[in-house]
Amino acid sequence: MEQAELIRSIRNRLRLAMNGVVATSMREKGMHYKLIFGVSLLELREIAEAFREEASVELAEALWKEDVRELKMLATMLCPPDTFAHERAEAWVADVPYLEIAEQLARNLLWKMAEADEMAVHLLYDRQHAYARTCAFLTFVYLFTAEKPIEAAHLNAFWVEAVRTLASRAFGASSYEKRAALTALKRYGRQSDEQAQRVLGELARFKESADVEEREMYHDLAFEFAFEKAAQHDTIINRK
């Protein structure tokens, strides 16, 4: 199919799956796309799978340029990661309009790129664009979860920025940056007891902090690591 015909076919699939109630609710919550179909992520993944054979970076770029919620999400699902250059990734991140798009961009594409850890570190230092650092931390979430190799210098940059994001009030990180950094530290800590203790030790002052948010972050991390350790223990016992 020609690209224009592909996009028409994708739009037709979206119209068939359109949920007007959900679309209206999204607008009422402050999403100001030119068009919202209100299609769920599950349905979007099914649509993306239907067009998998036609997927290309050119098609993804055309979808991304549209000011349509679902087309931007489909762009992240249909773009082949091995053809997604760092320059294009930077341009997309700079153009992210809302958190859900940042989440889909990181989940479906950024962490799968070549030298994804280098890309993520570059984004960590970008305070110009609203969702750059969020995308960076979410990329590390998926790299840690998949146990991908990460260069020592890039891992150190992640550590410094994650701790600063959570521990420095003067730094002024956004709430979504903090959530992404916290999730990344969870995934980092789950890799080993040593790393878990490093995280808890670095943020030990949070345990008895007068700040409710800081106390909650510490106990969230402690619970995560304790649960993971218990799960690993149960797995070992069951194998015996």
pLDDT tens across 4-37, in order? Answer: 999 999 999 999 999 999 999 999 999 999 999 9
Residue among 44, 51, 54, 56 nearest 14 (CA): 44
CA dist list (Å): 191 to 9, 48, 199? 43, 32, 12
3-state helix, strand, coil in the chain (%, to 5): 75, 0, 25
CA distance 62 to 71: 9
pLDDT of residue 239: 58
* Mean pLDDT within 185-212: 96
pLDDT at 234 > cutoff 90? no
Question: If you ran DSSP here, which 8-state letter would residue 35 be given?
Answer: B
Tokens of 21: 């109630």
CB 110 within 8 A of CB 96: no
Q: What is the DSSP letter of 211?
A: -
- Tell me how far apart the 2 most distant CA atoms of the chain are, in Å: 61
Side chain identity at residue 94, one-letter code: A
Does residue 231 have a pLDDT over 90?
A: no
Kindly tell me if the per-residue pLDDT of 233 is higher than 60: no
pLDDT of 237 > 60? The answer is: no
Q: Please provide the DSSP assignment of 93-161 as one string.
A: HHT--SHHHHHHHHHHTGGGSTTHHHHHHHHHT--SSTTHHHHHHHHHHHHHHTT----HHHHHHHHHH
pLDDT tier at 48 (50, 70, 90 boundaries)?
A: very high
DSSP-assigned letter for residue 84: -
Query: pLDDT at residue 44 above 60?
Result: yes
Mean pLDDT value of segment 160-169: 96
Q: Name which of 189, 82, 190, 176 is nearest 138 in CA terms.
A: 176
pLDDT value of residue 8: 96
